[in-house]
Amino acid sequence: MIFAITGTPGAGKTSVCNALGLEFMDLNKVIEEKGFYTGVDHERDCFIADLDKLNEYVKEAKEGGNLLLVIESHLAHFLNPDVAIVLRANPLLLAERLKRRGFSARKIRENVEAEMLDVILAEAVELCEVVYEVDTSGKSIEEVASTLREIINVETAGESERKKALRDRYKPGSVDWTDGDNEKS
């Protein structure tokens, strides 16, 4: 199974994946190291990913015997995962994280707007059959990693009752930045 850990930059993807205790593929490193890009966006200071090459690389890794493949990037949901887990972060928290990372004001604004508008979540829902939405705001890295481990274990084990309960708890649309209380009731 392929699990995509995705979300707006700064939502906690890499930190959480490092805490999972599972091997994972950092797609941003793969893009850079393997040259899977078609150019450089100098305005945004980033590579323009070649999703076809990246998708082929992920498919080969899966076919190479990886029964469980965890891929991580804000692009991971584009690569036909079996399960997409979209990490979310309160836009105010996200802005602070990106500022600490040295992002430009423009990049911070673009990413905060994308988070506020659920851009990655909407893409994941459109492209992926199974999507979880997990709010990282106010939670430790280990708390979020524990949630992801639970999702991965339940999805791979096929426990239908527990799977249904988790899918309901973390269903797309469960995070709402407009009401002041991060989780919808």
- What fold does the segment set 2-169 form as a domain? Rossmann fold (3.40.50)
- 137: helix, strand or coil: coil
Is the pLDDT reported for residue 55 higher than 80? yes
State how far the alpha carbon of 153 is from the alpha carbons of 109, 149, 150, 157, 159, in Å.
36, 6, 5, 6, 9
CA geometry: angle at 48 spanning 75 and 97, to 5°? 55
Is the pLDDT reported for residue 11 higher than 80? yes
* Strand duo 25-26 + 83-88: pairing: unpaired
pLDDT of residue 180: 59
**What is d(CA 177, CA 149) in angstroms, rounded to the nearest whole number?**
25
pLDDT higher at 66 or 177: 177
pLDDT of residue 185: 31
pLDDT of residue 64: 78
The domain limits of the chain are 2-169
Q: Is the distance from CB of 120 to CB of 8 less than 8 angstroms?
A: yes
Is the pLDDT reported for residue 181 higher than 70? no
pLDDT tens-place string over residues 19-34: 999 999 999 999 999 9
Is the pLDDT reported for residue 85 higher than 70? yes
pLDDT of residue 74: 96
DSSP 71-122: EESTTGGGS--SEEEEEE--HHHHHHHHHHTT--HHHHHHHHHHHHTTHHHH
pLDDT of residue 184: 38
pLDDT of residue 179: 66
pLDDT higher at 26 or 64: 26
Q: Read off the pLDDT band of 160 (50, 70, 90).
A: confident
Is the pLDDT reported for residue 148 higher than 90? yes
**What is d(CA 71, CA 3) in angstroms, rounded to the nearest whole number?**
6
